[in-house]
Structure 1
């Protein structure tokens, strides 16, 4: 039992929220706005924190979930008047960088991978395989574009153009978010929004991050050696903790691994 001496001031508290993994992937351990909502509510409210720190290690994922999570971070930060500091580990790329840009400051390890400010859509085509096996694809729709980019039918150039239009619009939203959050710190480099990635020192030169720094040293530098931290994050499902994963979780794990592999991780 701890005895508290009246009128003594406790060291500052910083809430630390871990954002690790792909965003919006299948499976119950994926980062999503629904899963993170109660996590952020506690992090911004419990114990009157002096700041909220984000530990980010994400290769990206769903642009919508990235936007929803980022918007929630900003709403809570502004409502509670609490600064948000992001600390990048291996990677904050694509949607992962969207989350980092939602913070007021971004710090990273010298070997962290950052950027990939772009949008990607991938699929497959199996119509030749079906034809070889004598399988006939039958599709009936009401609406000219209802079967857009059906992987079991030959690719339609009009569908491709329509998809590119959607991707360009999402890319514009991403650029607007980064430009608004990073402001005048951003470089005028032509490759900034092409989907390119950089290590942290180059990312700092481009204005994508504020500097090289790790969580505890930086928090101690700012809030004192006795700074207290309280960690928050998504709890893994009970079955996953014991190694028994459902099929959907296994699929999500494969897709997440593939996302990290894009950056050599």
Structure 2
């Protein structure tokens, strides 16, 4: 009984603490709800320097003093030789990461990153974009693809790397590149269009609930969630999907005219090695391998546009960590020995 009493008391304290934190979070969210600005900042990281520092650290740990001293002497000699050629600027590689969601809202950061690169890059430089996305809304990924096309229009070499997945809208972005690299088991392709919508009309009728929808224009609405769908509306909806698919295929053909669309535009996806055989990509290679290779001959910069977190987001994150800590403490307290 004493154990149950202590446990109940601890649980009551924990619940009280959780409720207090949630109350604070709700107040903060309500107070900051008016400030919806998505201002951010541009972050530039010199990947070449980071890799050089990593190598230097490993050499220091692994080599004996004599060998490390010889290594540092050779390193200084190389740096001195490079300093004499300061007039000849090293070409640059700019790395951008794009991890896309269904609505592709990440394009708001992508456009800032592309603009920053275009403001400084020359035709001797290049851009590497790591794309990871299974696709999503047509207009969102259409805009993301157009952002990458800005790089092509500036005649700056563009490479897209696919380590995990670039399907549907993700491949729409990837196909814009001069070269596409993918890992052996990366998912590539899915040149197709899908749309689905639930319909609750029969449920509403069953409960004697009327639903009205008024439109001007025969096809202002084709299929609806609550109204009674017609065969004419279904045909129009299918027609719109087919038209979108044709636009998708035309877009891919514009950048990769050698593709046999009748084979690859079926909505299927393939793994990296299969995609290479079909011509969807140009080589099997991971982004890490490519970037490390480029860092040996170029100065590689990672470009990130980071949206500043609102105060409410920070409080919510802190509350989440606290809740996790409480749950873990409860689990530890009740874990059998």
TM band (smaller chain):
0.7 to 0.9
* Equivalence for 1:205: 277
Displacement after TM superposition at 1:107 (Å)? 0.3
Does residue 301 of structure 2 align to residue 230 of structure 1? Answer: yes
Q: Pick which of 127-136 and 163-172 moved more.
A: 127-136
Verify: 1:46 aligned to 2:125, yes or no: no
Which residue of the partner structure matches residue 214 of structure 2? 140
Residue equivalent to 1:263: none
Question: 1:128 & 1:51 partners in 2: Cα distance?
Answer: 57
* Cα distance in structure 1, aligned partners of 2:315 and 2:186: 29
- Tell me which residue corresponds to 2:263: 191
Name the CA distance, whole Å, in 1 between partners of 2:103 and 2:233.
Answer: 25
Count of aligned positions: 234
The SS at the match of 1:235 is strand
How far 1:83 moved relative to its partner? 0.2
Q: Please give the alpha-carbon distance, in whole angstroms, between the structure 2 residues aligned to 1:59 and 1:182.
A: 20
Alignment match of 2:156 (pick from 82, 85, 93) = 82
Matches for 1:64-143 after TM superposition, within 5 Å: 64-79=139-154, 81-143=155-217
In structure 2, relative to structure 1, the CA distance for the partners of 1:162 and 1:233 (3 Å cut) is farther
Which secondary structure does the structure 1 equivalent of 2:279 belong to? coil
Alignment of 1:141-220 (within 5 A): 141-184=215-258, 186=259, 188=260, 190-220=262-292
Unaligned runs of 5+ in 1: 246-265
Residue matched to 2:137: 62
Is the contact between residue 19 and residue 233 of structure 1 (CA under 8 Å) also seen in structure 2?
A: no
Coordinate RMSD, CA, aligned? 2.6
The structure with the larger Rg is: 2
Are 2:212 and 2:227, in contact at CA under 8 Å, matched by a contact in 1? no
Q: Give the superposition deviation at 1:242.
A: 3.7
> Helix, strand or coil for the counterpart of 1:15?
strand
1:18 equivalent to 2:97? Answer yes
Counterpart of 2:49 in structure 1 is none
CA distance in 1, matches of 2:199, 2:307: 35
1:117–1:175 CA contact under 8 A, matched in 2: yes
More helix by share: 2
Partner deviation per Cα, 1:202-223 (whole Å, 9 max, x = no partner)? 00000000011122422444x4
Q: Is the 8 A contact 1:23 1:95 kept in 2?
A: no
